[in-house]
Amino acid sequence: MKQHIKIGTRGSQLALYQAEFVKDLILKQFPMLDISTVVIKTSGDMIRRGSFDPFQTKRIFTREIEDALLQNEVDLAVHSAKDMAVDLPEGLEISSVTEREDARDCLISKEKAQISELPLGARIGTSSIRRKLQLLRWNSELNIEDVRGNVDTRIRKIEEGLYDAIVLAHAGVKRLGLGHTVSEIFPAETFYPSPCQGIIALESRKGDPELKEILQTLNHRESFIQLECERAFLKRLEGGCQLPCGITTRIQDGKIKLAGALFAIEERAWVEGIWEASVDHPKEAGIQLAEIILNQGGAEILQKIREAKK
């Protein structure tokens, strides 16, 4: 059995929380282990989010941590699964995931106003194209602006009057103990979350059976099924973490039921689809939903997005 495990993580407040959360889970099962955390700065921490390519799949938020894994500088990487590229580097794998937190997006606003109560031209901060397009689908009069910084910084910008509201992943807000600031939680069926939002993924080297045995004790089966389905959906759309698409999945009676959408950037257009399949074939289910969307006009939307990036 391993005696020491080094966890690689980004240095944001949320990333550090997630690394400590995983560390505590491991120690509950294996209290004799010595576990340390190694903070690694990634390309995504140094590049302006607004400059990202929707089709960028080159490990913007994970490259340096994965390189450290491959070079044996760390033993385990803890990621927000939605930030991971759909194709992992050769030699690495997602060994397990923890139980999924709420996958939905939420609104934080002045005086706890809901989205329908915000005034015309309200300034809403989000750096996500997916969120921006869905907000405008609800209300084309909203003024959507980029916002950066950690969760605390973004909330402070509301208090300073720079924004009327911001939209964030509910999972991250809850994990940081800031659930009391939430004004509204958006229904996943009408405001589609990012693929794998709310899932913490544990990535390790292949061929490390001792560590994999440890990590398997943490794996949450239903969340892993959702991860495989949603990553397959994104991969078939050939997208990165900034592609304006969303998906919601749930498991019921041995079936995985999914709904998703792809949004056009330059016009008020989108394509939605639904599908269900056996939980035994989650990847195939995600691919099938993507095929439905592509065949109903999604392929044209992707082509226009590609042309706009040239």
Query: Does the active-site annotation cover 83?
Result: yes
- DSSP label at residue 135: H
Tell me which of 24, 45, 75, 83 is the catalytic residue. 83
By residue count, the chain amounts to 310
Q: Which residue has the tokens 């689908």?
A: 137
Q: Which residues of 50-66 are buried (b: 16+ CB within 10 A; e: fewer)?
A: eebebbbbebbbbbbbb
- DSSP label at residue 12: S
Hey, which residues does 76 pair with through a beta bridge? Answer: 7, 204
Angle at 194 between CA 77 and CA 88, to 5 degrees: 35
Q: How far is CA 134 from CA 30, 80, 231, 310, in A?
A: 44, 22, 21, 24
The residues annotated as belonging to the active site are: 83
